[in-house]
Amino acid sequence: MHPRSAAPYYVVLAGTLIACALMSLCVLQLFQSRHDALERARDTSRNLALVAERDIERNIELYGLSVEAVIQGLQRPDVLAASPALRRGVLFDHSMTAQFLGSMLVLDLAGNIILDSANDVPRQGNFGDRKYFTVHRDNPNAGLYISDPFGSNWTSSISVS
């Protein structure tokens, strides 16, 4: 009988070790790719949130400036004495006609509509019980207030004021 040589076992062992090493490299590459993809997703999410934040901030700033312009216009007797069409054109700028922005209303101390950016003749309505009215009635220096979402009196949509 011939003694068996250990060489074939070493070849098989070496092949197995090489296969395991290559498999380990593949697994490591997959984990690295996953990590890179998650990092890219985080960056994209941050960028998208930043764009949304700046857009919302800009829209709120423009809305606040429109409200300030109406307040300043209401303090001018010549604007109040003008015809309804001219008064509406002077008080309410065209930013209020942007998509998803409704009309701007001016209310009296009781919450009744006295001016409407959408019509020369204001619609009939009272908002004296609404939070966005009572906040300013109770604290005239409250500044720009954004209400919680509510059901609109005139449309079936959800609105904020």
3-state secondary structure 56-125: HHHHHHHHHHHHHHHHHHHCCHHHHHCCHHHHHHHHCCHHHHCCCCCCCEEECCCCEEEEECCECCCCCC
Does a structural domain hold residue 131? yes
Range of the domain at 152: 67-161
Q: Note whether residue 114 is domain-resident.
A: yes
Residue 22 placed within a domain = no
* Residue 1 located in a structural domain: no
Number of domains present in the structure of the chain:
1
CB 93 within 8 A of CB 117: no
Structural domain contains residue 44: no
pLDDT value for 2: 62
Check residue 31 and give its pLDDT: 97
Does 140 fall in a domain? yes
Residue 154 lies in a domain: yes
Write down the pTM of the prediction: 0.67
Answer whether residue 51 is part of any domain: no
Look up residue 71 and give its amino acid.
I
Ordered per-residue pLDDT tens for the chain, 161 residues: 566 676 788 889 999 999 999 999 999 999 999 999 999 999 999 999 999 999 989 988 888 888 888 889 999 999 888 888 888 888 887 666 666 677 788 899 899 999 988 888 888 988 888 888 889 888 888 888 888 888 777 777 788 88
- The CATH number for 113's domain is 3.30.450
